[in-house]
Copies of this chain bind each other. A is one copy, B any other.
Amino acid sequence: MITAGPSALVPPRKSFRATQFELREAAILDAAGGLLARVGYEAMSMDEIAAEVGIAKGSLYRHFASKERLAAAVLLRLAARTRDRLDALTIEATSPLARLRALVAWALHQRLAGAVPLLASTSPALRHALEHDPHYEAAMGELSAGLSACIAQAKAAGELRADLQDDFVLCSLHARCCDPALDLLRARCALTDTELVDHLVSGCFDGLAAAPRRADPG
């Protein structure tokens, strides 16, 4: 049997403690993410998070040096997950446009399940904090790059309007994933989750106006 010892080729066997540490860190991110989505950055208190996770406040600070960095870690994880999702869709989905639609739908479902919108817009203070976080910038940069590639493909395939610049589409999609309409609709309309998401995605890509819309030259 492969002793714990430093034999090469042995998968890194983590100590029980280290595993616990990682599990707790994930739990903290989950709790903070939920709070962030429900009450916002300013109103979420470190005491509340600690209480929700069931750990002491001091232990919270063993994982994250400050409230800002904790919130940044939440959004960082979400950015990474979104990117992973996009990668997965690159294999699954049939066309570039289908990938984009599926990614927006996925993001909206995440939010219905209680996730934060992937946007600093929640709080200007948080936005400011993130602007100086290199890890977050990097993760968002990667995500943007993947999306931009997808947008370019969709345009080349004639699936996206040619008169809109790529950056505009990118920002629009980002914003649609964080759409405040989701909250408005949840409060006002009686729709199932799936209907809600389908309508929002369709509204985003197909528009609200009736079919004959632009006088596009062929």
Enumerate chain A interface residues (CB-CB to B < 8 A): 38-40, 42-43, 97, 119, 121, 123-125, 158-162, 164-165, 167-176, 178-181, 183-185, 188-189, 191, 199-200, 202-211, 213-214, 216
CA distance A168 to B186 in the complex (A): 10
Closest chain B residue, CB of each to CB of A208: B205
The 17 listed contacts between A and B (C-beta, < 8 Å) are A40-B42, A40-B123, A43-B123, A43-B125, A123-B123, A161-B207, A164-B199, A164-B203, A167-B185, A167-B189, A168-B199, A171-B181, A171-B188, A172-B203, A175-B181, A203-B207, A204-B207
A178 to B168, CA, bound (A): 17
Q: Are the C-beta atoms of A209 and B40 separated by less than 8 Å?
A: no
Q: Assess A209 versus B209: contact at CB under 8 Å? Given A42-B125, A123-B40.
A: no
Q: Check if B184 sits within 8 Å of A171, measured CB to CB.
A: yes
Residue of B nearest to A199 (CB): B168
Q: Determine if A188 and B164 form an interchain contact, defined as CB atoms under 8 angstroms apart.
A: no
Interchain CA distance A178-B208 in the complex, whole Å: 17
From known contacts A168-B189, A180-B180, infer whether A206 and B210 are also in contact, taking CB-CB under 8 Å. no
In the complex, chain B residues whose CB is within 8 Å of the CB of A178: 180
A172's partner among B173, B208, B211 (CB-CB below 8 A) is B208
The one of B160, B181, B210 in contact with A158, judged by C-beta atoms closer than 8 angstroms, is B210
A202 to chain B, nearest CB (A): 8
Residues of B within 8 A of A175 (CB): 179-181, 184
A192 to chain B, nearest CB (A): 13
- A183 to B175 Cα, complex, angstroms: 9
Cβ–Cβ < 8 Å partners of A199 in chain B: 164, 168
Q: Please measure, in the bound complex, the distance between the C-alpha atom of A39 and the C-alpha atom of B202, giving whole angstroms.
A: 33
A167-B189, A168-B189, A174-B181 as given contacts; A160 in contact with B125, CB under 8 Å: no
The answer, among B170, B179, B208, for a CB contact under 8 Å with A160, is: B208
The residue on B at minimum CB distance from A166 is B189
